[in-house]
Amino acid sequence: MAAAWAAPDFGRWYPYGMALNLAQSHGRVVMVYFHSPHCPYCDQMNTFVLSDPQVSSFLEDRFVVASVDTETPEGQELSRRYRVPGTPTFVFLVFRKGAWEEVGRFFGSRPRAQFLLELRQICAKGGACE
């Protein structure tokens, strides 16, 4: 199912399917970022957290990031599949034993320091952020 998507203006962000393929081949955790163009909390995350150079660098060095617009047909289907309660939602996946396993998720906007702390916890749990 192909859909138009828009990557944020910072870091390397990929469509969902491409992110899974890259993460699987490189042994990385996928961060799936569910967002909406009409979501003020997504705007907060984009403006104050995800665009921060420290956050952007941390993500690029340790994760493969997928950008999913929940207003597209593909985004709606993925939102149902992952039971996304609203935006922004971050779902973390790792490929283990032949299948994708969810190793964490969080919902809503948060300050940069808290976001980085949670990313470090996901790395420890996912075991694929070296």
pLDDT digits (tens, 9 = 90+) for 74-108: 999 999 999 999 999 999 999 999 999 999 999 99
Q: Which residue has the tokens 């403006």?
A: 47
Distance of CA 6 to the CA centre of its chain: 13
Q: What whole-number distance in Å separates Cα of residue 16 and Cα of residue 24?
A: 12
Per-residue pLDDT reduced to its tens digit, 44-84: 999 999 999 999 999 999 999 999 999 999 999 999 999 99
Q: Distance between CA 31 and CA 119 in Å, rounded?
A: 9
Residue found under tokens 């060095």: 61
Domains of the chain, earliest start first: 13-126 (3.40.30.10)
Torsion of CA 99, 118, 10, 33, to 10 degrees: 50
Determine if the pTM surpasses 0.75. yes
